[in-house]
Amino acid sequence: MTKEALRKIYLHKRLALSEVEYIQLSQQLCDLFFASIDLSFIRVLHIFLPIEKKKEPNTWLIIDRIRREFPHIRLSISRVHNQTGILENFYFEGLHQLQKSKWDIWEPKQGIPTESEKIDMVLVPLLIFDKQGHRVGYGKGFYDAFLKTCRKDCRKIGLSFFEPVDRIDDLNQYDTPLNFCINTKGKHQF
């Protein structure tokens, strides 16, 4: 299937989740993330803030646990630069740093910039992924462009409520594959 067809199907599936299902699945992803990913070598973790109206996995659960249990890890979050459309990354300092963007997404309004080469791991938003580690996002290409600026050894991990599809038909040179994807069944390695 094409990205556009998959995008429609899986956004619809996610939006159809009840609030109870959404909370349970988000907690499962959080638990599986900590059970299956070695964080001992991570110094900087880039994490997306969930778009609540699109029922993205609740990464606040991961953020809270990292801040409590892994104080050596610095968290990095992003915003889209209004003129260039490129992700700008900043170290996460706390809720006081955030404001809603024009897309109704929590973003940092200021902060200390995070250099891409300092990032050891990126949690990547997605709608669905395939068995080869490719993902379908919202189609703007923000994360694919950002991931290309990261070090080659930076781990790219997706979070998904759903099982992978066999393949995405219309991949191109701009698509950046994941190293892992965690869904509610476990960790998929590519």
DSSP conformation class of 48: P
Residue 174 has pLDDT above 90, yes or no: no
Rounded Cα distance between 69 and 125, Å, is 23
Distance, in Å, from the CA atom of 161 to the CA atom of 174, rounded to the nearest integer, reads 24
For 108-153, the pLDDT digits (tens) are: 999 999 999 999 999 999 999 999 999 999 877 789 889 999 999 9
Q: What is the structure's pLDDT at 71?
A: 94
Tokens read off for 62: 């991961």
Quickly count helices (H) and strands (E) in the chain.
Answer: 4, 11
In the predicted model, is pLDDT for residue 82 greater than 80?
no
Q: What percent of the chain has pLDDT over 70?
A: 100
| Higher local confidence (pLDDT), 173 or 25 | 25
Q: Dihedral of CA 172/176/182/186: which sign?
A: positive
Q: What CATH number corresponds to the domain at position 96?
A: 3.40.50.10420
Instruction: Give the pLDDT score at 83.
Output: 77
Of 6-10, 40-44, 79-83, 95-99, the poorest mean pLDDT is in 79-83
What's residue 11's pLDDT?
96
Question: Is residue 5 within a helix (H) or strand (E), and if so which, with residue range?
Answer: helix 3-15
Q: Which residues contact 1 (CB under 8 A, 6 or more apart)?
A: 9, 165, 168, 169
Q: List the beta bridge partners of residue 187.
A: 182
**Residue-number span of the structural domain to which 88 is assigned:** 3-189
Measured distance CA(8)–CA(58) in Å, rounded: 21
pLDDT score recorded for residue 85: 74
Confidence grade of residue 65 (pLDDT, cut at 50, 70, 90): very high
Q: What pLDDT score does 88 carry?
A: 93
Does the pLDDT value for residue 162 go beyond 90? yes
At residue 148, the pLDDT reads: 92
CA-nearest of 5, 87, 11, 19 to 49 is 87
Number of domains in the chain: 1
- pLDDT band of residue 105 (cuts 50, 70, 90) is confident
3-class SS of residue 69: helix
More confidently predicted of 103 and 70: 70
